[in-house]
Amino acid sequence: MKPLDPRLLREAGAARWFIAGVVALATLGVLSTLVIAWQLTRFVTSVFVSHIAPAEVIDALIWVASAGLVKAGALWLQEVWAARAACASRAELRGKYFAAILKLDVAGRTVEDSTAARHTLANRGLDSLDAYFAKYLPQLVFTALVTPIFVLVIWNVDWLSGVILVATMPLIPLFMVMIGWATRTVQQRQLNSLTRLSQHFIEVLRGLTTLKIFRREWAQVETLAKVGEEYRKRTMKVLSVSFLSGFALELAASLSVALIAVSIGFRLMDGSIALSTGLFILLLAPEAYLPLRMVGANFHAAAEGVQASGAVLDAIAAANHVGTVQADAVGGLEIPQPGKLTVLVGPSGSGKSTQLRRWRATLEPHEVAWMPQQTNLFSATVLTNIVGASDSKIGSFDPVKLERAMRLSALDDLDFDSEVGESGAAISGGQRQRIALARAVYRALARRSRFVLLDEPISSIDASRAQIVVEGLRALAREGFAVCAVSHQDLLAEAADLVIEIGKP
Amino acid sequence: MKIRSLLTLGLPRTTGFVIGILISVLQGLSAVALLATSAWLISRASEQPNIVFVSIAVVGVRAFAVGRAAFRYGERMVLHNAAFNLLTTYRPRLLASLIPFAPAAMSRDSRGQAVQRVVSDVDELQNLSLRVISPLVQSVIVSLIAAVFLALLSPAAGFALLVACLLAYMLAVPLATRLAQNSDSGVVIDRATLAERSLELIENAEVLAAYGWAEPALQELSEIEKRLVVKQKRSSITLGIVQGGFVLLGTWATCATAWFGANSVASGAQPGVLLAVFALLPMAVFDVLNGCQAVAQSWQRYRASAGRVLEILDAELPAEVPDEQSIAGVAKSGLSVFEKLEFIDIAARYPGAEQPVLSNLNFEIVAGQRILICGESGVGKSTIANLVLRFLEPSAGKLLFNGRNASDYSIESVRAIVGLIEQQPAIFSGTVRQNLWLAKPGASDDELVAVLQRVGLWSMLESRGGLDLFVGERAVLLSGGEAARLAMARALLAKFELLILDEPTASLDAATAQETLRELMLVAEQARVAVILISHDAAMASLTTSSVVVEKTRVA
């Protein structure tokens, strides 16, 4: 992770003012700290060295208490604004990522770009970006601003302590950079292994029945223990490096404080400085290192989010280039004629579905009514799945066309308002397919989408209903739609006006 | 009571954990001692004594400085290791308690949640020890020791520090808990909803894009995000109050101890060199106390996740599902050979359902027979498979294997003899070989190739990597037909004596479907494997020796 990722900074636009506010408040906090240190020193030296009665210098303590109040208030507001900064940036980025996923077609997915991987990125990954915007970024700006103030103040009061401060301070960023290099690959591995663990778990849960059929379910329990143990070892490895960096930073800071304290002690002994100077510096020295140390601490908290944001920003950038289909990349067969029922046949894996996708890609979206092979449904009612969420909510659909679409799809055994369950899990495969079909048909009827492209519309439908569907599709074609289906069923091929065989030499 | 079981769930009972807590206390003490010793050193030095008097303090300052950093490292490593060890045991435990429920008693709506549950909830369990118990124990012990130390010098100062610490705990634990309760539990729910909805969006991206429905879906997600943001802002206010409160209490405690310290110095009860210690000690203590600022929030989050984990672990198996684990304990005769299966007036109902899916079902099949069970979608054909494989108990009637009650045999032995190819058999992300090994672990490549040849899959795979072909997540790199064939190959490899095929040809092209089925039937005939073919297509009867038609259960 770079200290400042320019791509992420651009995304932080929404949060700019909150971040500025956080920095301003933090500076106010530092000023209060200076007041507290100075007044406390005044109180202690007055009583201890000058033997003044405590009641006479009580104004110093009142100063301390008031500065504490200011510091507390600033800190409170700082926390609130930091959260706003994080929320604003994250919400914007997540929205863009979802939009990008919708643009990047399923066809364009790679193996690593699996559902689980996207899901982890969109949720856990982006959530962990909060640390970047809320903590790391403001802290970085604040540190750059405030550290020189501390150095100047301390230098003014006691130049030797100032020298120690200036000499030791660069150790902290130096350690950070070195450690950053060391942890980058481990961090990446950590995210990968987390994704793998979650992927493995989804698979096992989804395939639990299959596992039980082969009596392998208990073996999976053991495998999971092994994978989990592997994950633990990896994570511990990452942590041992991350914590080591924390250790180095803390050691550098606390040894520097010790160095300053001891040097002040010896100089007090030969009387070359006053106690007030020594005490003031002792109070300020840890505070001077604190901002830098916090950058280090937040750096690691932010790293996971930044790691995830890399993939997210890649996806967003990739989506910006999608949408222009190159003509030469399309290739293949000519687009089917309107008014005809065309059926693509051929053995499994011969590229029928690919051909259908190509056609879809060359057409304008509004011209196409599309039914993919994977009939995932939305966990909503049948109606919502057919006409879409927004139209079903406001009741803006054509009941006549809807009725026809359902009749054509032989959807006679489900009501409008039946729930289909998550991804359609509550209904049978045939019912899912018929709902997906009705969706495409309704779309064609309601929006006059001329091209009806169906990938395996009747593969899970029983024979009598399949007959109804085939006749319906023929009728649709006669009305001037270009109905084009990929099918393995003879029934559909026999009814076609045109059969295209794919995969024949 | 509830809190107790929540605590037992996430607390590691290992020596590692105890050692980790001890180290963290030492760390806190070193931090406090570093500042106190430094303050004393400087004050004493200003009196310009003999160097011997301060040199011990100098060593102390350096030692505490190293100790503060070193103990911190040790504490984090040891505690994290203890927490992760705990997590590693919970993942398989959760799976183990879900196993008896699959598939008949599994809530079918829990896919998105299952991801959320297992990954996030189990991960969350670590935070009880890391973010709740350890900072609390550390700061309580350190602040007590510091307060007692101050009280020995000046009772009033010690008391002032104690009161400040107590107020800080009240702010960090009960008050923040109450403040955070609403917004934080809401955050958890919104996160879960967001996770579910986004999974739906990711899975349905193609349809959403093709139908122009993306806008409302994105809208919905951004609504959830907005709700999440509102709650996060609210909980940041709480967190800010706690943080600000700690600073305020810290400085005010400093004022109080400095005041009481100054008075006892002025009255001559204590030497002046200690005044700086009076003034600086509370700050060091509050530095340690800062560690428990977020305890309330961490506890809220932990409680929500741990509650869900407990729910899974403690869920009771419904009566409709055979209790595989307790049955496994009882000695039962094994089903060693398949001769005959009889369904006599069988009825079945799923857990939680009001109406039976099947009633009065009668049929039988003997070794070597191949029968077709057909009927319309939704009449409960797949339930027959669940009954035969003992995933579900019949609610009425008798299910007999070789003339004896199915429940007389161990479930293990039934599943060794009876197999099923589901409508959507799970193909696991991995190689072809790994998927086949599911049925016969460690089978030789020759054997695997032979079985792939029998289902007509080898010729398709040979050039693409053969047994080493990676099939992708949910078999995306295989066509529907190839996936079905792979499932068939797996079933053949397991050498079942009775095989149920639940709509196996749905995604195969007609010619290949016929061919594959015929081949399978041929293998079945040769090996005397009986087959129950479940299909909506009555035409499949040509492949079987007899057929049974299942009608929809009419509710009286």
Do the chains contact at A115 and B255, CB–CB below 8 Å? no
Residue A377 placed within a domain: yes
CATH number of domain containing A164:
1.20.1560.10
Q: Can you give the residue ranges of every domain in chain B?
A: 3-313, 324-554
pLDDT band at A327 (very low <50, low <70, confident <90, very high): very low
Buried b (16+ CB within 10 A) or exposed e, B459-487: ebbeeeebbebebbbbbbbbbbbbbbbbb
For residues B506 and A379, the model is more confident at: A379
> What gap in Å lies between CA B156 and CA B151, rounded to an integer?
7
Same domain as A28, residue A78: yes
Instruction: Report, in angstroms and rounded to the nearest whole number, the Rg of chain B calculated over CA atoms.
Output: 34
What class has domain B324-554? alpha beta
| Helical H segments across B374-479, by residue range | 381-388, 411-417, 432-437, 445-454, 458-461
Same domain as A282, residue A194: yes
Same domain as A211, residue A91: yes
| Domains contained in chain A, number | 2
Do the chains contact at B480 and A283, CB–CB below 8 Å? no
Which of A322, A347, A382 is the last residue in one of the domains? A322
Strand order in the sheet with A451-455: A368-371, A451-455, A482-486, A341-345, A498-501
What's the domain range around A180? 6-322
| Helix (H) or strand (E) segment spanning residue A345 | strand A341-345
Q: What is the structure's pLDDT at B326?
A: 62
Residue A48 placed within a domain: yes
CA A22 and chain centroid, separation:
24
Q: Same fold for the domain at B3-313 and the one at B324-554? A: no
Same domain as A461, residue A389: yes
Supply φ then ψ for residue B477, to 5 degrees: -90, 0
Per-residue pLDDT of chain B (556 residues; tens, 9 = 90+): 488 888 988 899 899 999 999 999 999 999 999 999 999 999 999 988 888 888 888 899 999 999 999 999 999 999 999 998 888 888 888 888 888 887 877 755 444 455 556 667 887 888 999 999 999 999 999 999 999 999 999 999 999 999 999 999 998 888 777 766 666 667 777 887 888 888 888 878 878 888 888 888 888 899 999 998 888 888 888 888 999 999 999 999 999 999 999 999 999 999 999 999 999 999 999 999 998 888 888 888 888 889 888 888 888 888 888 877 665 556 677 888 899 999 999 999 888 777 888 888 999 999 888 899 987 766 788 889 999 999 999 999 999 999 999 988 888 889 999 999 887 788 888 899 999 999 999 999 999 999 998 877 898 888 888 899 888 766 667 776 688 788 888 988 998 999 998 877 655 555 566 666 777 677 667 767 899 998 877 777 888 888 888 876 654 3
Q: Which residues of A touch B106 (CB under 8 A)?
A: 208
Same domain as A456, residue A341: yes
Instruction: Return the residue matching tokens 């990452």.
Output: A238
Contact A165, A151 (CB under 8 A): yes
CATH number of domain containing A402:
3.40.50.300
Which of A294, A322, A350 is the last residue in one of the domains? A322
Same domain as A423, residue A346: yes
Q: What is the structure's pLDDT at B437?
A: 93
Question: Residue A302: which of A462, A90, A488 has the closest Cα?
Answer: A90
Q: Which residue of A217, A236, A348 is the best one to mutate when testing the B interface, meaning the one whose CB has the most B CBs within 10 A?
A: A348
In this complex, which of B46, B222, B428 lies closest to A268 when CB atoms are compared? B46
pLDDT digits (tens, 9 = 90+) for A163-214: 988 988 888 778 777 777 766 676 667 667 767 777 787 788 778 889 999 9
Do the chains contact at A202 and B199, CB–CB below 8 Å? no
For residue B238, the distance in angstroms to the closest alpha carbon of chain A comes to 9
Residue A497 placed within a domain: yes
Same domain as A296, residue A379: no
Do the chains contact at B244 and A76, CB–CB below 8 Å? yes
Give the predicted TM-score (pTM) of the model: 0.77
Residues 6+ apart with CB under 8 A from B76: A239, A243, A246
0.90 surpassed by complex ipTM? no
Residue A200 placed within a domain: yes
Residue A345 placed within a domain: yes
Which of A262, A289, A322 is the last residue in one of the domains? A322
Same domain as A238, residue A337: no
| Inter-helix orientation angle A275-321/B15-46, to 10° | 140
Do the chains contact at A54 and B263, CB–CB below 8 Å? yes
Same domain as A189, residue A162: yes
> What beta strand segments (E) does B261-357 contain?
340-348
Same domain as A235, residue A128: yes
CA torsion angle for A18, A19, A25, A26 (degrees, to 10)? 160
Question: Residue B429: which of A422, A424, A115 has the closest Cα?
Answer: A115
> What gap in Å lies between CA A217 and CA A208, rounded to an integer?
7
Same domain as A315, residue A357: no
Do the chains contact at A214 and B198, CB–CB below 8 Å? no
Q: How many CB pairs under 8 A join A and B?
A: 461
Same domain as A357, residue A222: no
Contact A171, B88 (CB under 8 A): no
Q: Which fold has domain B3-313?
A: ABC transporter transmembrane region fold (1.20.1560)
Question: Residue A336: which of A502, A436, A448, A453 has the closest Cα?
Answer: A453
